[in-house]
Amino acid sequence: MSALRVFVADDEAPARDRLRELLEDISDEVPSEVVGEARNGLETVERVPGSGAQVLLLDIHMPGIGGLEVARHLARLSDAPAVVFVTAHDRHAVEAFELNALDYLLKPVRAARLAAALKKAQGAGPPADASLERADARAREYLPVSERHRIVLVPVTDVLYLKAEQKYVTLRTREREFLVEESLVSLEQEFAERFVRIHRNCLVARAAIRGFERAAAGEEEAHWRVKLEGVPEALPVSRRQWPVVRALVAEK
Amino acid sequence: MTSINQNDTPDVLPDFRNLGVVARILVAVNVMALTAALYSATGWMHARDRFVEAAALIEPMLLSVVLVLYIVAPRLQRMNYVAGCAAVLGIALLFALATHAYWARSETLAAGLGRTFVLTALAVALLLGYFRLRARAYSPALAEARLQALQARIRPHFLFNSLNAVLSVIRRDPRRAERALEDLADLFRTLMSDARQFVRLADEIALLERYASLEQLRLGERLRVAWEIDAAPSDALLPPLVLQPLLENAVYHGIEPGTGVGEVLVHVERRGDRVLARIENPYHPEHQHRAGNRMALDNIRERLMLFFDAEARLETRIVDNRFRVEIEMPYRAERSPAP
């Protein structure tokens, strides 16, 4: 039996050391090799794709991106590893794991439990995105954008607006545009706190709104447009959404 | 007949040097005077005049009594409760007599000496009764505070991660593991001690150091702690577990969410008759949904209130991207009695 390729992600060095030790302890039962380590969520997302890992031991409480969100981003990979979550104490997370049949270990991890989890993970593929989504009640902090062969994450806080154009959704930051493979409706639901819908095809970051201008274009009816911080373009507000948007301005 | 003492916390006089106590006395006596004026007067204007008259008589006496009580407070605290009450009554009656003697020379005085005495004695009795009830009402609250301290303290997250960290060094560095377990034991000893007793600042600071050493094991170079404690009065008394939870918060909210190195500042000093403590950590606005911080702060604020009444304060501020908690409390040296 060839050694199982394991990736260890935890922000605490002693915790990573401990897992390595345990993997060695159980190597007779489940031969394994550690193919990579990461100290936070972003590192994990960057390093796992090239590592060839079959199983990811993933701490859920990490700086940057939490473990559950990391798993959601990694699940998009074609050769995504199976995931065993590790947590010291997070009642909500544990409940969510139980409910959605996600495998997890409690810290301090016991050798026997680790062996059992690895055996189970060996055959299993990556966790289903739907169960990850259900387990993670919070909105994500990063959005994956389409780039060739790798995962590029854009912090949600950098997003100025999201605009649906034919098949894709365009994501605009100060610097540039990206394409997102998610629907505007689901994005609107997940990030309702951060974005407001100004038009059937457009969500705008509330924090980026700088003002409004009235624009009359040719024979069209005059309409309002939103001016945003950091980008020159102004976005049209539909008549239907105008009351909502205006109320927002009044709050400011 | 044998008496059964069901209450294991004996009655004590209020601390007459406490701002809250003084304020309550002043307000209560004036309310009594106002009530009497409203009751005996024939109309609103009359009542006002009555109150002003009474105030002229009462205020100098009241302020003198409060001042004398302030001066003799430490002595009163050392007497037993009944003798203390008698002393307070004696002081009040003495000033009633003095006031009476002073006003007797003019002709405005309405009441006779006898009635002045009875009124004074009633007011003293009412107030002492009120303070006794209040102290009794708060002693379960203090017991409760202990429970709260336990519940709000030491996140399970910290406990399990620390145990995990100890397990990870046991093979490579047994001595470091030993020290970590000793630190953990000390921490829990304090957690399980009586939260109604004051502790010495030196002990609380030692606890901070134990705690920091455990976090250091876990977080390594990510955590830096700057200690500014040379001017800390080690004999000052404070409620237990006031600073440690703040340091724990600082690490949890300031260091753990960060990927780089972060510095936590612990600053304690004495300024006149006040003790100031300040704890600072890097501020991560995007991680404020990690709630629980407010709860811990409210818990500490509540316990400071139980111990120091209106004389302590806890404030939080965000300065230069750092989250800062400041506590100010009266400096009480080791020998002064507990409330």
B150 pLDDT above the threshold of 70: no
> Tell me, what's the pLDDT at B109?
55
* Chain A residue with Cα closest to B155: A89
Mean of pLDDT values over A189-207: 91
Render B55-85 in DSSP notation, one character per residue: HHHHHHHHHHHHHHHHHHHHHHHHS-HHHHH
CA B52 to chain centre: 36
Helical ranges in chain B per DSSP H: 19-40, 44-78, 81-104, 113-152, 156-170, 174-191, 201-219, 244-249, 293-308
Label residue B338 by pLDDT band (50, 70, 90).
very low
> Tell me, what's the pLDDT at B279?
96
B282 contacts in A (CB within 8 Å)?
A: none
Q: How far apart are CA B338 and CA B306, in angstroms?
A: 12
- Per mean pLDDT, which range of A74-83, A86-95, B64-73 is the poorest? A86-95
B159 pLDDT above the threshold of 80: yes
Label residue A223 by pLDDT band (50, 70, 90).
confident
B172 contacts in A (CB within 8 Å)?
A: 17
A46 touches chain B (CB under 8 A): no
CB contact under 8 A, A63 and B169: no
Helical ranges in B250-328 per DSSP H: 293-308
| Contacts by residues B68-76 (CB-CB < 8 Å, ≥ 24 positions apart) | B68/B95, B69/B16, B70/B16, B70/B17, B70/B22, B72/B16, B73/B15, B73/B16, B73/B17, B74/B336, B76/B13, B76/B16
A39 contacts in B (CB within 8 Å)?
A: 259
Which CATH number belongs to the domain containing residue B244 in this structure? 3.30.565.10
Looking at the fold, whether B27 and B91 belong to one and the same domain comes out as yes
Among B144, B162, B196, residue at a domain's last position: B144
Mean of pLDDT values over B307-313: 85
> Tell me, what's the pLDDT at B195?
66
Label residue B153 by pLDDT band (50, 70, 90).
low
Q: How far apart are CA A192 and CA B138, in angstroms?
A: 45
pLDDT in tens, B172-187: 999 999 999 999 999 8
> Tell me, what's the pLDDT at B151?
54
Looking at the fold, whether B70 and B87 belong to one and the same domain comes out as yes
Angstrom distances, CA of residue A175 to CA of A14, A146, A162, B39: 39, 16, 14, 77
Mean of pLDDT values over A124-147: 82
Instruction: Judge whether B246 and B209 are in contact, CB under 8 Å.
Output: no
pLDDT in tens, B58-103: 888 899 999 999 999 888 888 888 899 999 999 999 988 888 888 7
Distance of residue A22 Cα from the nearest chain B Cα, in angstroms: 10
A142-251 CATH pick, 3.10.690.10, 3.40.50.620, 2.60.450.10, 2.40.50.1020: 2.40.50.1020
Residue B251 DSSP symbol: I
A100 pLDDT above the threshold of 50: yes
Domain of residue B297 covers 153-330
Looking at the fold, whether B56 and B195 belong to one and the same domain comes out as no
Looking at the fold, whether B52 and B92 belong to one and the same domain comes out as yes
A56 pLDDT above the threshold of 70: yes
Q: Is residue B10 part of a domain?
A: no
> Tell me, what's the pLDDT at B292?
59
Mean of pLDDT values over B236-248: 89
Query: pTM value?
Result: 0.72
Among B91, B109, B144, residue at a domain's last position: B144
Express as a percent the part of chain B with pLDDT over 90.
40
Angstrom distances, CA of residue B126 to CA of B87, B88, B135: 15, 12, 14
CB contact under 8 A, B156 and A13: no
Looking at the fold, whether B301 and B172 belong to one and the same domain comes out as yes
Mean of pLDDT values over B205-220: 93
B164 contacts in A (CB within 8 Å)?
A: 12, 14-15, 18, 88, 107-109
Which residues partner with A83 through β-bridges?
A56
Which residues of chain A does CATH 2.40.50.1020 include? 142-251
Higher pLDDT: A251 or B184? It is: B184
Amino acid in the structure at residue B52 = V
A88 touches chain B (CB under 8 A): yes
- Per mean pLDDT, which range of A113-122, A154-163, B304-313 is the poorest? B304-313
* Mutation site, B155, B163, B167, B287, interface A, largest A CB count within 10 A: B167
Looking at the fold, whether B174 and B69 belong to one and the same domain comes out as no
The rounded radius of gyration (Å) of the Cα atoms in chain B is: 26
Looking at the fold, whether B159 and B248 belong to one and the same domain comes out as yes
A157 contacts in B (CB within 8 Å)?
A: 286
- How large is the angle between the packed helices B44-78 and B81-104, nearest 10 degrees? 140
A138 contacts in B (CB within 8 Å)?
A: 289
Looking at the fold, whether B268 and B205 belong to one and the same domain comes out as yes
Among B144, B171, B187, residue at a domain's last position: B144
Average pLDDT value for chain B:
84
∠B138-B141-B142 over CA atoms, to 5°? 90
pLDDT in tens, B244-278: 989 998 998 999 888 889 999 999 999 999 999 99
Looking at the structure of chain B, the number of domains it has is 2
Label residue B142 by pLDDT band (50, 70, 90).
low
A11 contacts in B (CB within 8 Å)?
A: 256, 259
A70 contacts in B (CB within 8 Å)?
A: none
Determine phi and psi for A194, rounding to 5 degrees: -95, -35
Q: Is residue B101 part of a domain?
A: yes
Instruction: Judge whether A75 and B142 are in contact, CB under 8 Å.
Output: no
Looking at the fold, whether B63 and B171 belong to one and the same domain comes out as no
pLDDT in tens, A139-182: 888 998 877 767 789 999 999 999 998 888 999 999 989 999 88
> Tell me, what's the pLDDT at B152?
55
Q: How far apart are CA B278 and CA B316, in angstroms?
A: 10
> Tell me, what's the pLDDT at B106?
64
CB contact under 8 A, B160 and A89: yes
CB-nearest to A108 from B163, B171, B289 is B163
B168 contacts in A (CB within 8 Å)?
A: 14-15, 17-18, 21
Label residue A219 by pLDDT band (50, 70, 90).
low
Express as a percent the part of chain B with pLDDT over 70.
86
Helical ranges in chain A per DSSP H: 13-25, 41-51, 67-74, 91-99, 111-123, 129-135, 184-190, 242-251
Mean of pLDDT values over B200-222: 93
A207 touches chain B (CB under 8 A): no
Q: How far apart are CA B328 and CA B314, in angstroms?
A: 7
Q: Is residue B75 part of a domain?
A: yes
Looking at the fold, whether B89 and B220 belong to one and the same domain comes out as no
A5 touches chain B (CB under 8 A): no
Looking at the fold, whether B59 and B118 belong to one and the same domain comes out as yes
Domain A4-135 class? alpha beta
Which residues of chain A does CATH 3.40.50.2300 include? 4-135
Mean of pLDDT values over B22-43: 89
> Tell me, what's the pLDDT at B291?
55
> Tell me, what's the pLDDT at A151?
78
A18 touches chain B (CB under 8 A): yes
Nearest partner of A37 among A58, A21, A23, A54, judged by Cα? A58
A154 touches chain B (CB under 8 A): no
Q: How far apart are CA B167 and CA A20, in angstroms?
A: 12
A42 touches chain B (CB under 8 A): yes
Decide the pairing of beta strands A104-106 and A82-87.
Answer: parallel
CB contact under 8 A, B165 and A40: no
Looking at the fold, whether B213 and B326 belong to one and the same domain comes out as yes
Interfacial residues of B (vs A; Cβ cutoff 8 Å): 155-157, 159-161, 163-165, 167-169, 171-172, 217-220, 256-259, 286, 289
CA B232 to chain centre: 18
